[in-house]
Homo-oligomer: A and B are copies of this chain.
Amino acid sequence: MIVILKRNPDPSQLERFRGWLEERHVSIHPTIGMNQTIWGLVGDTSHLDINLIAALDVVDDVKRVQEPYKDANRKFHPEDTVLQIGGTQVGGGNLTLIAGPCSVESEEQICEIAKAVKKSGATMLRGGAFKPRTSPYSFQGLRSEGIRMLSAAKELTGLPIVTEIMDASHLEYFDSVDVIQVGARNMQNFELLKVLGETRKPILLKRGLSATYEELLMSAEYIMAGGNENVILCERGIRTFETFTRNTMDVSAVPVLKQLSHLPVLVDPSHAAGKYQLVTPLAKAALAAGADGLLIEVHNDPEHALSDGPQSLRPEAFDRLAGQLQRLHEAVRAQ
């Protein structure tokens, strides 16, 4: 940690600060410049509160030198984390394809989609049971009943299932769920993260709409600090000034997160774009940038007049895309 002192600091305040640091076994290496004095702090600075120091009258600025996350940090864990989930692996060069509808609507619907996407090469099944909706007047999902239907589709196809949790009190319904998803809006629901840190279930942690990489990794750290190291990071689009797309997929998140952390990184192009025509180019871009896999919305619905969600592919389109993605994944890995 580096502390930049104010010019002509009050000597007695400076002395108190020096004493406070020494009590904490932190030693001070001063650099006296022409205009400014800098203190390099040496020792275990991870427990010093940077905001507290920044607030001191004698301090002009404080800069952190080390990342504030440890368990998620590649520096202390150089090898890629690879998770074994049912019969499939996430990370380590495997292509993870998680497919399924935005919402579970019926057992028939989810089972049909599960069979279709499995045939196309999906490695896991997703479907929303507890749905975060911006309006209290919108459909809130089938909730625990939706998880029961997902479990039926899992039994039928053998695909591990992924679904979102919205509140720690719902955890009891997630026994048969293989991967628990934390949505973008809950990325900093710290009480939820703590509870998930006490489980040993794989957690798919989605990046918040305007979260930085460091904030995402700090939320992963919350889960890992509780002892659950099975965290999968997921880029799902950030909010930008562009209104043509719902959000803007940040493809740089893939190489950056893989550099900073050892955790697997997936991308959700369906939610990022909000338009099904963009799912194919964005899915390819994510793989070309090195993503470990993708979440893709797939929706059947032969009988319903108002079929597709705005960002969903039909099973036939997913089948075509899955083949393209497998070939692209091989081509990128071969380089």
Contact = CB atoms under 8 A, between A and B. Distances in A.
A55 B308 contact: yes
Interface in A2-52: 2, 4, 16-17, 19-20, 29-36, 38, 40-44, 46-47, 49, 51-52
Nearest to A237: B252
A127 B38 CA distance: 34
A250 interface: yes
The A contact surface, by secondary structure, is: mixed
Given A186-B189, A288-B285, A248 B252 contact: yes
Contacts of A278: 252, 255-256
A254 B242 contact: no
Contact of A47 (B132, B137, B243): B137
Contact of A309 (B46, B52, B328): B52
A287 B43 CA distance: 46
Nearest to A68: B135
A318 interface: no
Interface of A: 2, 4, 16-17, 19-20, 29-36, 38, 40-44, 46-47, 49, 51-56, 61, 63, 65-66, 68, 132-139, 166-170, 185-186, 188-192, 194, 209-210, 212-215, 218, 221-222, 225-226, 238-245, 248-252, 254-256, 259, 272-273, 276-278, 281-282, 284-290, 305-306, 308-312, 324, 327-328, 331-332, 335
Contact of A133 (B30, B190, B212, B286): B190
Contact of A16 (B305, B310, B312): B305
Contacts of A286: 285
A185 B182 CA distance: 14
Contact of A188 (B132, B215, B259, B335): B132
A188 B189 CA distance: 10
